[in-house]
Structure 1
Amino acid sequence: MVGPRPIVEAEIEKYGEYIKDYYLVTPGITGLWQVNGRSDTTYSERVAMDTWYVRNWSVWIGRSLFVQNSKNCFKAKKCILKMQQENQWENNCMENQKVSVIIPTLNAGKEIEDLLQALLKQNKKADEIIVIDSASDDDTTSICEKYNEVKLLNIERQQFDHGATRAIAFNQAIGEFVLFLTQDTIPADEQYISKLLVPFKDEKVAMVSGRQCAKATSRLSERLAREFNYPLKSNVRSQGDIKQLGIKEIAGLLKIGK
């Protein structure tokens, strides 16, 4: 079928009325079937022009469109399959994988309730929330005791150690996945836990870290440190990144991965 010439039609505003009438024709198989346009040409000239168009443009354009559409369909199918696999894995995680949350606290009365409320609103609920408190002298423990979902552990303040204290709670956790949080954490949304689980579909992933954003009231040095350690774009870090990032940035990953 022959219709308006693609090249001319794309630039139609640049042409005068005569040129538009000359080229912009109604669809037809050959020039003999055209109703309007090119009235000053002979039938043989019209047929010759349409034949040239079909041979030189229609087939090439059609072939290009077919190839491009085939590529797009293939890409779309791959994307759909990937999304289906991710959704299937995520749904399985949501239903079957147990998650334990561990929160060390010390005088967290002004912060802990907001964190607990945010955790209870997650679309993937934690199977347990372990709060390990270092002898707070405010209302931290009384707040935690209000929640049936919270398992409260108590240690002496002088016993606290960043690694050892978390290890005490870790050894009592029932989850296949363990999420370590600080007492002043506020999850960004209700998909916080479920989004952290998604990268584990890759069996080589041993640990996932959420992005930490400094508060507006934080010192400039703290904000810069957060932006460097937790950039906007997700990335994978391994032993091969030690030279660039330093051992401190991936030490946790190496320990968990052993």
Structure 2
Amino acid sequence: MHRLFAELEPSVTVTEQNLADRVRYILRSNTFDATELERLQREAVPSSDENATAEDAAPQLAEQPANLDAAVNTPVSVDSNDDGTVAQELEMEHMRSTLDEAILETRSTPLENRPRLPRIALSKLNRAIVRALNPILVTYLEASRDLCETDSILFGAALAVCRIIVPKLSTAGRTTGQSSAISAWRTRIEERIAKARALNGRLICFRSGNTRLRIVRTVRMAFAGKNISLSQPDIMQKLTECIDDLKQTIAA
């Protein structure tokens, strides 16, 4: 495929890998339908003999998709360089399919519903995965039409990296994350209200004459650091003030 492309477009410099990535992107993104692809193939593939018949040219057209698939699906192993050699080979085919799915999913997902991405450790293997995906992104970025699409491509690439490193990564949208965040702060406030009500109830019990050890201990803890003694004459007034403060805190 690369030799044929070099003959058709000698002025364009492109690597075999980049050409295979471009073909894969065109086929998967459905840029052209089957009829248009067939027409382009007939126009692009040169005939070795001007007098060749259509029957002679047909096998060449039939063989080209197989050659394209073979070039696109050829696995490539990537090793890290600066951080040392990674012992495990990376399956590029799996990475490309994960990247395609992530970018397609991101493009069809509203910004507010994108999943939250976890922090990824900067290990040798993780760095190698990022280096392997960077060249594949060139095809998508060159085909980007505006900044929004570029943002979707980059977020899709980040999502693909997370899914490769963390296979069981949750795909829940940001709405779910917001719901959990709201429930978290709501839970904290409800816990503070419950503690204030419990303390208020024991202060009221003590003011009513309940001198059980547990009640007295709670009242002393409430007045700790305030230089207030339970034996001072105005203790009932202090209790009333503290009870009113707690009621206002609960209401707020």
Which has the larger strand fraction?
Answer: 1
Tell me, yes or no, whether TM beats 0.5: no
- Please, what TM-score do these two structures have when normalized by structure 1? 0.25
- Please, what TM-score do these two structures have when normalized by structure 2? 0.25
The structure with more radius of gyration: 2
Which has the larger helix fraction?
Answer: 2
